[in-house]
Amino acid sequence: GLLAECMASTGCLLVRDSRVSAEDNRDFLDMLEGYLEQSDSSKACDAHPELDFQVGLTPTGQETPRVVKDKQMQAELRAIPVQHAATLPQGPDVKCRFMWRIGLRPSCTAFPELNAAPVIPQAFP
Per-residue confidence band for 31, with pLDDT thresholds at 50, 70 and 90: very high
Q: Is 49's pLDDT higher than 90? A: yes
Give this prediction's pTM. 0.71
- pLDDT recorded at residue 74: 92
In 3D, which of 6, 112, 106 has the Cα closest to residue 54?
112
d(CA 7, CA 71): 21
- pLDDT recorded at residue 92: 94
d(CA 76, CA 15): 28
